[in-house]
Structure 1
């Protein structure tokens, strides 16, 4: 449609120009012939007709160059189209109704061919006086896109500011360009605002939520980071395993360990990952959910023996002394510490001889005030018990 429209305007322009004697009669007749050939889809013949012209007048040369550019473009010969349109536009002689549209056509071609530096001056010229029939916001968006491709971030934001002043509704592509520039310039607060606008358009897109959370963490706002991730989850956004891990960490940092533990419970690989299971056990412990913590420590310990120590501590705390002794038998290293905990467990089970034996062992391995106190106390207890029995 656009190609037919442009060809049609050239025809009407030719007629007007011929009447006003802007084109020589020689040129006007041949331009009309080339136009008719193009209308009959005989583009090669139309191009050949115009290329064969011997033109001396500068205006005729500029006019024919524009027409050639359009024909080349219609024939999908972009490079010669650009060359001819540059001749036409740069001549400064075509100040008719189609001058603005011709300049835009050239700028758009250069943009599509990724010749951003060459396109920009034409777009800036276009922005100075935009006809009422054209879209000024579109020009500023293309300026922003060109600067974006050239990594000229401050100029991207300048162009986007002009674009937004024209009152267009928010769209993904312009906001994405703006966001990229803000991130490149470390403008975290404006980037947060832009991300929120993107989320308003695509609330189901998890990438926007992740970016929002990352930006809040960047500015050390853990509260809003947590609120944002929790809201995404509440809204049914498809969070992956890493998102859930981060959400759990944020709950933990905010002092809400129960929710942290529950979120970790949603992970598919939780019971096969010792570190994650240990983290869940820790959260349950922080929440004083002792039995849930013990259950998690058991799983973590079976996956990685280092966690038998944590399990044993909690078992003793909760009075599960026999289970604690079993767990302690699986602890590697920490011999003095293990002996002391066993001392307490045996004492609670009223097995004084065993308790005393482990207290002495602890003191032999690593002498300490605690071990000595146990030995002294248990020795006295044994003596008192022996006196009672005698």
Structure 2
């Protein structure tokens, strides 16, 4: 995040009456201020640089004015140099001295000299002549600690800011949220995001952050509700967000909705679906006991990887489509374990009452990869064959 640290201008023409200046210095200061009012900053700077001030207070005040004009003129390093002199001279007292230190802190922060800036901001907090300035100073301190990746100090500063019970604002809340996430305080981040959503209900990023925090804290039903609500409010969800929505439906025991979200995504943007997405959709349909849809999607997956014909065949066996299952298993040949294919053939042939062929497949499976299932089929089919022969005789 980028933050703007520079404050409004602290010095105005009327400020010259706030300090006692030597007569010739005051005249040159007034002349410089007239140039500045006419947007002639170079002339204002030249006028002040030509001042021959002897009194320490005159020098400090001229330096502070120069800092102001240098900053307005885009000469930040010169502004910092002059502001630092004005502050460290200790010649500017009370409110003027405080304003000088505030300007130096702002200039340093804007120049990414954060460590020095935060030292001055903390001094400003302790000696603020107007208490209404204190919350803004704590916010600045929080911003700087954020830039320095000092997450706990960031939260401490924002906690000080919040003591003043000001109306919620995006800046302090977003800083607080960032620090909470960096410290993996996901549960604490959730109310922060909800406060941000109250301010910016159409901000997609806050909704996604809320869902993410709820998932990280294993609040899957809440995450689903949040993502559903975002969608209902018209928040645009990416393809990836919609896949997440489908996954949350499935996790919350609503596989049919999960499948329908994926089907809708497939209809709108078929190219965004990976093979994993297609198999996931098939699995959702299967969980929802929508067998035809499941078979159709397993077939689509099998067009990319023939091993998925196994899932097609299994569902066909389950649905009693035994001849279709045998045809599917023929397509699976060479793309799955031969022993597993033989066992699936055994089931289909048995259901088609082709017992000799079924027994042959069971024996083939056991020879390729001995298993309890294969031996069970061999025993059962052998006994059945003998029983039928006995009946016929």
Q: Same fold (TM over 0.5)?
A: yes
Q: CA separation in 2, counterparts of 1:25 and 1:157?
A: 49
Q: Distance in 1 between matches of 2:165 and 2:298?
A: 58
Calculate the TM-score normalised by the size of structure 2.
0.84
Write out aligned runs for 1:176-187 (5 A). Answer: 176-187=174-185
Name the counterpart of 1:205: 203
The DSSP-based 3-state class of the residue aligned with 2:265 is coil
Please identify, of 142-151 and 96-105, the stretch whose mean Cα deviation from structure 2 is larger.
96-105
| Larger deviation, residues 340-349 vs 36-45 | 36-45
Q: Deviation per CA, 1:19-76, whole angstroms, max 9, x where unpaired?
A: xxx4334433443444445445554444334333433322222222223323333443
Paired residues of 2:247 and 2:258 also in contact (CA < 8 A): yes
CA deviations on 1:329-354 (whole Å, 9 max, x unpaired) are 11234333333332332332334444
Q: How many angstroms apart in 1 are the aligned matches of 2:109 and 2:298?
A: 61
1:95/1:276 CA distance change after superposition, 3 Å: same
Are 1:228 and 2:234 matched, yes or no? Answer: no
Compare 138-147 and 225-234 and name the one that shifted more.
225-234
CA displacement at 1:229 relative to structure 2 = 2.7
Give the match for residue 334 of structure 1: 337
Shift in Å, 1:175: 1.7
Tell me the distance in 2 between the aligned counterparts of 1:267 and 1:258.
14
Distance 1:139 1:316 in 2: 72
2:307 partner SS: helix
User: 342, 345, 350: which one pairs with 2:348?
Assistant: 345
Corresponding residue for 1:379? 385
Alignment match, 2:297: 296
- Secondary structure at the aligned position of 1:306 is classed as helix
Separation in 1 of the partners of 2:48 and 2:243?
68
Tell me the SS of whatever aligns to 1:266.
helix
Counterparts in 2 of 1:89 and 1:369: CA distance versus 1, 3 Å: same
Classify 1:222/1:270 alpha carbon distance in 2 versus 1 (closer, same or farther; 3 Å): farther
Question: How many pairs were matched up?
Answer: 379
Q: Which residue of 2 aligns with 1:157?
A: 155
Describe the superposition over 1:274-328 as per-residue Cα deviations: whole angstroms up to 9, x where unpaired: 3322222222222222222222222222332111111111111111111111111
Match of 2:4 in 1: none
> The residue matched to 1:204 in structure 2 has which SS?
coil
What is the alpha-carbon distance in structure 2 between the residues aligned to residue 6 and residue 241 of structure 1? 53
The corresponding residue for 2:282 is 281
In the alignment, does 2:315 pair up with 1:310? no
Instruction: Report the counterpart of residue 146 of structure 2 in structure 1.
Output: 148
Change (3 A) 1:296 1:91: same
Question: Mean alpha-carbon deviation: is it higher for 78-87 or for 348-357?
Answer: 348-357
**Residue 192 of structure 1 aligns with which residue?**
190
1:43-54 pair list within 5 angstroms: 43-54=41-52
| Residues 135/382 of structure 1: CA separation in 2 closer, same or farther (3 Å cut) | same
| 8 Å Cα contact 2:16-2:26 kept in structure 1 | no
| Structure 2: gaps (5+ residues) | 1-6
Give distance in 2, aligned partners of 1:135 and 1:337. 76
SS in 2 for 1:156: helix
Conserved? CA contact 1:89–1:103, under 8 Å: yes
Greater shift in the superposed pair: 312-321 or 93-102: 93-102
Query: Which residue in 2 is equivalent to 1:57?
Result: 55
- 8 Å CA contact 1:274, 1:301 repeated in 2: no
- Counterpart of 1:99 in structure 2 is 97
Q: Could you list the per-position Cα deviations for residues 245-284 of structure 1 after superposition, in whole angstroms to 9, with x for gaps in the alignment?
A: 2222233333332222222223333896433222222222
Whether the aligned pair in 1 keeps the contact of 2:239 and 2:272 (CA below 8 Å) is no
For 1:67 and 1:222, the matched residues in 2 are separated by 58
> Partner residue of 1:10?
15
Q: Indicate the structure (1 or 2) with the bigger Cα radius of gyration.
A: 1
Contact kept? 1:308, 1:328, Cα under 8 Å: yes
Q: Which moved more, 1:73-82 or 1:264-273?
A: 264-273
Of 127-136 and 103-112, deviating more is: 127-136
TM-superposed deviation, 1:381: 5.4
Structure 1: distance between partners of 2:365 and 2:308: 21
Residues 212-260 of structure 1: per-residue CA shift (max 9 Å, x gap): 2332232333333333333333333222222222222233333332222
Query: 1:120 touches 1:146 (CA, 8 Å); kept in 2?
Result: yes
Tell me, which stretches of 5 or more residues in structure 1 are unaligned?
none
